[in-house]
Amino acid sequence: MSSTLLIQPCGYVPLDILLRLSKDLENHINFSVTVSSETLVPPLIHYDWKRGQYFAEKILSWIYENLGGLGYDRIVGICNIDAYVSPLNFVFGLADPVRGVALVFLPRLKPSFYSEREDFERFYIRLFKEVLHELGHTFGLGHCNVRKCVMSFSNSILDVDFKEAAFCRKCTDKLLKVGIKVSRKLMLP
């Protein structure tokens, strides 16, 4: 039996990105994926006007409060907002393994954020890696010391680009112990 996953747009996220993400997750992990047809708009009460960013932990709780009772095993918010947690300047994502909720923040995954030319494929691969990473946290995985493993910590976009969209053997084994099977494509050699 597969786990159920809700992909929830938070702020405007193009539907083609959400559908591709849904398909890729279903093809490579034993998830039954639903893409929400509603877009949630983060409340400004969770916005830090001095920083120009949302407080990620507040958005995570807000998503859970709104969607936690729907019965999905996991919820991943795809958020078109910039966010941070103290003491960090920003985060690419955040997860709560107890509540089974994860968020991925899009702005810093876009090449244009770094004054590079738009590159949809590069952006999408970064997004997919971060979704896998945050989902891994919801299943109890910590940060991995194998730098190519998708569970390695990303301190910068260079770290995101360096790691693979795949789990190392140790992380794959841990996922199997909690009933999560990944395709060979998502396993490091």
Q: In which band, very low, low, confident or very high, does the pLDDT at 150 lie, cut at 50, 70 and 90?
A: very high
In a domain, 188, yes or no: no
Q: Is the pLDDT of residue 48 over 90?
A: yes
State the pLDDT at residue 77.
Answer: 98
Q: In which band, very low, low, confident or very high, does the pLDDT at 1 lie, cut at 50, 70 and 90?
A: low
In a domain, 110, yes or no: no
Sheet hosting strand 47-48, strand order edge to edge: 47-48, 53-55, 83-84
Give the active site residue among 57, 118, 134, 164. 134
In a domain, 33, yes or no: yes
In a domain, 189, yes or no: no
User: Percent of the chain beyond pLDDT 90?
Assistant: 97
Contacts of 59 (CB under 8 A, 6+ apart): 10, 42, 46, 77, 79, 81, 83, 103
State the pLDDT at residue 173.
Answer: 97
Tens-digit pLDDT profile for residues 75-110: 999 999 999 999 999 999 999 999 999 999 999 999
Domain residue limits at 48: 3-105+116-183
Answer yes or no: 118 catalytic. Answer: no
Query: Token pair for residue 21?
Result: 């993400």
| CATH number, domain with residue 146 | 3.40.390.10
Question: Domains in the chain: how many in total?
Answer: 1
State the pLDDT at residue 114.
Answer: 97
State the pLDDT at residue 2.
Answer: 74
